[in-house]
Amino acid sequence: MTVFGKVHLGYLVIETEKFADWRRFGRDAIGMHLDETHSDVLRFRLDDNTCRFLLHRGSAEDTTALGWEVDDHATFETIEARVRSHGVPVSEGSAEEAALRGVERFARFPGPNGLDQEIYVSPHSGCEPLRLGAGGGFVTGAAGMGHVAIATKNPYQMRGYYSTVFDARLSDYIDETISGLKFKIRFLRVNERHHTVAIAATTRLPLNPIRTRIQHCNIQVAELYDMTTAHHRVKELGFDIALSVGQHTNDKELSFYAVSPSGFEWEVGWNPIVVDESTWEPTTHQGISMWGHTPQGQNIVDLFGRFKTGAQSVLHREDTVPALAGAGIADD
């Protein structure tokens, strides 16, 4: 049984010490609903679901897990059985952990690049009325809450993993040069959203210049006005813009990228195309953007930091969860 189309990015789990900055960033700048009903945890909502971002206290300053909403118990059991059949352990989240995520129950198993994967069926609705700074709301539903981009030294294995576990399909490739390094980015979809996981890898050397487990996450606003006002608030409140407003070559999304308090980037986008499975053909685009997305304020210290992280990454072992990576998909 294929699970394609029945899997949707549901929430992210983040570990951070910077609660004050995240409150300002998430609520005041990006315009999400802030929920502080549990002590020592911050949560953000985008819609009726109780939790779209769960922030725990800890020193990682990183996203530590991806939560996947699946349509029904049959899909849940199919994914769980696949993972177990490859000899990879699946554990049940505790009742307390499930409550923090706003779900009935969830199962957890390891994912590549240190990102735990969590699957669940029934999300709870938040108790409080939704308070959003983005008046038009966020696009979630069948397309999920957005997407993540991950930098890796092992793109074939990572693509193999998401294909094996979630029946991910290739939407397209982008060839891009960033800070003098040539990258190939593979865009994978698990439902109608053009991509839910983007996999970025250098083409020559096995380098990963990105410290965090995700390079960025993306959320989608329904109204263009909410993207431009979020951009304005990010600047007004003193957070950094990583890439100015621009439009992507492949999914045509109009977006900007801010730097989140934990260091990974945060894309706010509007109006990406929706994939029609009956006609879609993967292609290769040159460059991530048709226009805009100009790097902002990147200085020599930032660049040096990336080269240092990249150089260290050569020696660092990256977990690929080989049992679930298939043979690895060699695609170029």
Residues that bind Fe ion (CB under 5 A): 218, 267
For residue 193, the Cα-to-chain-centroid distance in whole angstroms is 13
The minimum distance between CB 255 and Fe ion, in angstroms, equals 7
Which is nearer to Fe ion, 197 or 325 (by Cβ)?
197
**Interatomic CA distance for residues 272 and 144, integer angstroms:** 13
Which is nearer to Fe ion, 108 or 231 (by Cβ)?
231
Q: Please report where in the chains the tokens 């053909």 appear, as a residue.
A: 281
The minimum distance between CB 216 and Fe ion, in angstroms, equals 6
Find the distance separating the first CA and the last CA of the chain, reported in whole Å. Answer: 28
The minimum distance between CB 190 and Fe ion, in angstroms, equals 15
Nearest to 76 by CA among 10, 123, 121, 110: 121
Nearest to 201 by CA among 233, 161, 174, 238: 174
CA dist 210 → 48, 313, 320 (Å): 33, 9, 16
| Cα radius of gyration (the chain) | 19
Which is nearer to Fe ion, 163 or 218 (by Cβ)?
218
Which is nearer to Fe ion, 167 or 267 (by Cβ)?
267
Nearest to 212 by CA among 251, 186, 242: 242
Which is nearer to Fe ion, 47 or 267 (by Cβ)?
267
Query: What is the sign of the dihedral through the CA atoms of 57, 62, 65 and 70?
Result: positive
The minimum distance between CB 125 and Fe ion, in angstroms, equals 28
Pairing of strands 62-70, 116-120: parallel
Which is nearer to Fe ion, 65 or 197 (by Cβ)?
197
The minimum distance between CB 309 and Fe ion, in angstroms, equals 20
Residues 6+ apart with CB under 8 A from 258: 25, 29, 30, 231, 234, 239, 240, 241, 242, 265, 266, 267, 268
Q: Which residue is nearest to Fe ion (CB)?
A: 218
Which is nearer to Fe ion, 35 or 253 (by Cβ)?
253
The minimum distance between CB 221 and Fe ion, in angstroms, equals 14
Residues 6+ apart with CB under 8 A from 302: none
The minimum distance between CB 264 and Fe ion, in angstroms, equals 12
